[in-house]
Amino acid sequence: MDGGIDDALALILALRSPEIEVAGITAVSGNVPVEQAAINALRVVELLERPDVWVAEGLARPLARDPIRAFNFHGRDGLGDSNLPQPKLRPTAKTALNAMSETLTSAKKHEVTIICTGPLTNLASLLIESPHVKSRIEEIVVMGGAYGITKYGVGNETPVAEFNIYSDPEAAKIVFEAEIRLKTVGLDVTTIPQLELVKRDYARIKKSRGKASMFATRILETNIRAHGRFTLHDPMAVAAKIRPSLYKFSDCRVTVETKGEYTTGMTVADRRDLKEDQLQGRPVMMCSDVDPGFKRFFLDRLN
């Protein structure tokens, strides 16, 4: 995770869902610097009283580019400039790559799912340095990309590129080509208007008064006031693992563009009606639709 508002909401959803076991969290450079992303993860872990879940700092820069930030949207602190107190918990002394490698090495074959709600720098580096862990990964779920399979599948950082992929396209290319089962939840579905939080949803959260709801109220306040809505990119990626019955996926071959003058970071989906061996890119399961019940599910877990 890269420390944004929707990363925090996604982490709350994960930690409050008994269907999955959260082994650990890695912070990565993205919406905010990696140090701030780790602090924001620790805030959620501390809020939900889960000190058993480790948080590890990952890489501070993309593999081959300068970092880009999303301060204008997420605030300087990544959480809507909500001025939350500093957490008492601290990150593990292990690097993110070491913590991930140890967790995977000790797991059974195809036992672990990695859910990525930020740029793919940490995971790509792990796959380069420790390729033996691939056999332990059941699947990778990525919040990222815009594939043009719905009318909403256009970029949010450039006309064709989604923020997480654009932030480190070289890392994304490594992950997409890693020959590990890969599911993507991209802007094609995360930006469907019916699935966004709106003012009446915010009012419901605010009315709840539970500790997770109060935390969510605080970090969402600035965006709801400014825009009247909030897009649940990262919680939607997490929920794809928890409640898969709400999702439809389409098989497609995808290439990540790393060199285009105007298309860097584009996730190019080859939807041509050709034989499989004539298509370009690696096989990906792209999310093509999400049931409206997702938002109700998310709100129920938050309350």
Residue at 245: amino acid letter: S
- DSSP codes of every residue in 166-213: HH-HHHHHHHHTS-S-EEEE-HHHHT-GGGSEEHHHHHHHHHH--HHH
pLDDT value for 237:
98
* Contact partners, residue 5, CB within 8 Å, separation at least 6: 74, 78, 79, 80, 219, 220, 223, 230
Q: What is the pTM of this model?
A: 0.97
Whether 233 is catalytic is yes
Cα 92 from chain centroid (whole Å) = 21
Is a pLDDT exceeding 90 seen at residue 161? yes
> Within a 13 Å sphere around the CA of 209, how many CA atoms are in the beta-carbon half?
1
Summarize pLDDT for 256-272 with one digit per residue, the tens.
999 999 999 999 999 99
Summarize pLDDT for 47-63 with one digit per residue, the tens.
999 999 999 999 999 99
First to last CA, the chain: 22
Mean pLDDT (the chain) is: 97
Could you state, in order of their start, the residue ranges of all structural domains in the chain?
Answer: 5-302
pLDDT value for 81:
97
> Distance (Å, rounded) from C-alpha 248 to C-alpha 221?
31
Q: Which CATH number fits domain 5-302: 3.40.50.970, 3.40.50.300, 3.50.50.60, 3.90.245.10?
A: 3.90.245.10
> Distance (Å, rounded) from C-alpha 26 to C-alpha 28?
7
Helix (H) or strand (E) holding 104: helix 96-105
Summarize pLDDT for 142-157 with one digit per residue, the tens.
999 999 999 999 999 9
pLDDT value for 303:
87
Place of tokens 């269907």: 19
> Distance (Å, rounded) from C-alpha 18 to C-alpha 23?
13
Mean pLDDT check: name the lowest of 35-39, 172-176, 240-244, 278-282.
Answer: 278-282
CA distances from 217 to 90, 114, 206, 214, 294 (A): 24, 28, 6, 5, 19
Catalytic residue (one of 74, 110, 227, 233)? 233
In percent, the amount of the chain with pLDDT more than 70 equals 100
